[in-house]
């Protein structure tokens, strides 16, 4: 994304000591984070100033500087092995993560999800037969993995408490992700993006990656085996083992306020709608400024994900406009049909019908939080234009 600027919200997060208030725009390629190909806006000051910021930002897990856009990619090799794989992404800047899970909704939601699984009473075989879980078992085999030793995160979660137990409560974000995972049978994860160095790729490990197990003492490292699917960043840190079986410590979600990337994945055919539904649910629960969910699949293998609140909200506006325009197109088509049943101008103009439509929509507007005046003006303009369209059919 050449020419992209660091939004002011990011600038505000940087201590004024190294990021003075007024900025000067220069093109700078990160020497630390080779994958970060953006041009950044850096503040005035000595030439080394911007490099210090980028160098600090490049220290995985210790970042004071979270670049607002992360490119997420699924490697071709993953789709070659599992063509139906879908990786759903949801960016939510500045999530207030609390522990214990409070406000209690995440805990209550997790409890309800647990109760439903208990009521269903699935044993191991029943869990393995769930379409999402069966899909993951097949996917692991397709990439040379062992789904019995390293089940997908959802299967592991379902197994852990299927007998009637409760999952440990971690914090509001993780508990919410776990609740959604139990409900959907899909792996749902929360990643702290500050722990990522540059872009994130789901790909087979080369054998050179370093993985820090969750909750392990500092300095504990594991090396994923070559070919094992991992979430890896540009610096070669693996943030997962065996696809989504375990998450790494560097991106773990801890209490505080953090930019979080939520992932929901499926490996079974037809799972796309389930991934979308889970992401929509997450977006509702997390509230604004959660971004518009994004799906990576065999057709679209890479996408930038912004953690700038303004970008997130604009992404949502664009997605809403898509839906509004699609509905508007349907309405225009129906009005064209109506025109076929009218034979003169007064029938086309139908002033009584116009007033009826305007009255109805202004009353509805209120229910949807739309100012009545806005709805009235919009509809009068729309009807005026469509009436002209109808008249043109008549002529």
Question: Where do contacts with ligand ISJ occur on this chain (CB under 6 A)?
Answer: 335, 338, 349-350, 353-354, 357, 383, 386-387, 390
Least distance between ligand ISJ and beta carbon 389 (Å): 9
146: left (phi over 0), alpha (psi -120 to 50) or beta: beta
Chain position carrying tokens 């109808």 = 390
Cα separation, 176 vs 262, in Å, equals: 11
Of 1, 4, 2, 9, nearest to 313 (Cα)? 9
- Residue 138 or 350: which CB sits closer to ligand ISJ? 350
Nearer to ligand ISJ (CB atom), residue 269 or residue 372: 372
Residue 356 CB, nearest distance to ligand ISJ (Å)?
Answer: 8
Shortest gap between Cβ of 71 and ligand ISJ (angstroms)? Answer: 44
What secondary structure letter does DSSP report for 6? P
* Residue 94 DSSP class: E
Residue 197: CB minimum distance to ligand ISJ, A? 54
Provide, rounded to whole angstroms, the least separation between the CB of residue 327 and ligand ISJ.
13
Question: Of 118 and 349, which has the nearer Cβ to ligand ISJ?
Answer: 349
Residue whose CB is less far from ligand ISJ, 233 or 390: 390
Of 150, 158, 148, 166, nearest in space to 127 by CA = 158
CB of 387 to ligand ISJ, least distance (A): 4
Question: Of 310 and 350, which CB lies nearer to ligand ISJ in the complex structure?
Answer: 350
Q: Residue 157 — left, alpha, or beta (φ > 0 → left; ψ -120 to 50 → alpha)?
A: alpha
Please list, in sequence order, all residues whose beta carbon lies within 8 angstroms of the beta carbon of residue 256, skipping any fewer than 6 positions away: 97
* Residue nearer to ligand ISJ on the CB measure, 173 or 383: 383
What CA–CA distance (Å, rounded) separates 142 from 139? 5
């Amino acid at each position: 994304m050449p020419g992209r600027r660091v939004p002011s919200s990011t600038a505000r997060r940087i201590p004024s000591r190294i990021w003075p208030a007024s900025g000067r725009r220069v093109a700078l390629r990160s020497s630390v984070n080779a994958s970060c190909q953006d041009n950044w806006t850096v503040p005035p000051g000595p030439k080394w100033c911007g490099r210090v910021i980028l160098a600090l930002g490049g220290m995985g897990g210790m970042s004071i500087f979270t670049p607002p856009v992360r490119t997420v990619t699924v490697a071709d090799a993953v789709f070659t092995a599992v063509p139906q794989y879908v990786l759903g992404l949801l960016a939510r800047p500045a999530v207030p993560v609390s522990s214990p899970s409070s406000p209690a909704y995440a805990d209550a939601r997790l409890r309800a999800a647990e109760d439903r699984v208990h009521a269903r009473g699935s044993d191991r075989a029943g869990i393995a037969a769930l379409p999402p879980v069966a899909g993951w078992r097949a996917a692991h085999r397709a990439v040379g993995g062992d789904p019995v030793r390293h089940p997908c995160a959802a299967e592991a979660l379902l197994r852990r408490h299927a007998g009637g137990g409760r999952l440990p409560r971690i914090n509001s974000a993780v508990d919410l992700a776990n609740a959604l995972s139990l409900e959907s049978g899909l792996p749902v994860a929360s990643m702290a993006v500050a722990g990522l160095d540059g872009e994130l790729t789901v790909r087979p490990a080369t054998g050179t990656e370093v993985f820090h197990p969750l909750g392990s003492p500092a300095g504990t490292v594991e090396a994923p085996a070559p070919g094992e699917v991992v979430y890896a960043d540009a610096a070669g840190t693996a943030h997962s083992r065996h696809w989504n079986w375990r998450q790494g410590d560097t991106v773990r979600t801890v209490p505080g306020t953090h930019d979080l990337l939520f992932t929901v994945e499926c490996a079974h055919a037809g799972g796309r709608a389930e991934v979308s539904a889970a992401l929509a649910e997450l977006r509702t629960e997390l509230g604004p400024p959660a971004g518009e969910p994004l799906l990576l699949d065999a057709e679209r293998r890479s996408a930038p994900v912004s953690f700038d609140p303004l970008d997130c909200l604009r992404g949502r506006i664009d997605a809403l406009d898509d839906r509004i325009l699609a509905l508007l197109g349907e309405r225009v088509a129906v009005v064209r049909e109506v025109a076929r049943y009218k034979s003169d101008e007064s029938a086309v103009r139908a002033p009584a019908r116009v007033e009826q439509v305007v009255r109805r929509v202004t009353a509805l507007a209120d229910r949807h939080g739309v100012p009545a005046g806005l709805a009235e003006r919009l509809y009068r303009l729309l009807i005026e234009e469509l009436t002209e369209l109808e008249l043109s059919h008549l002529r």
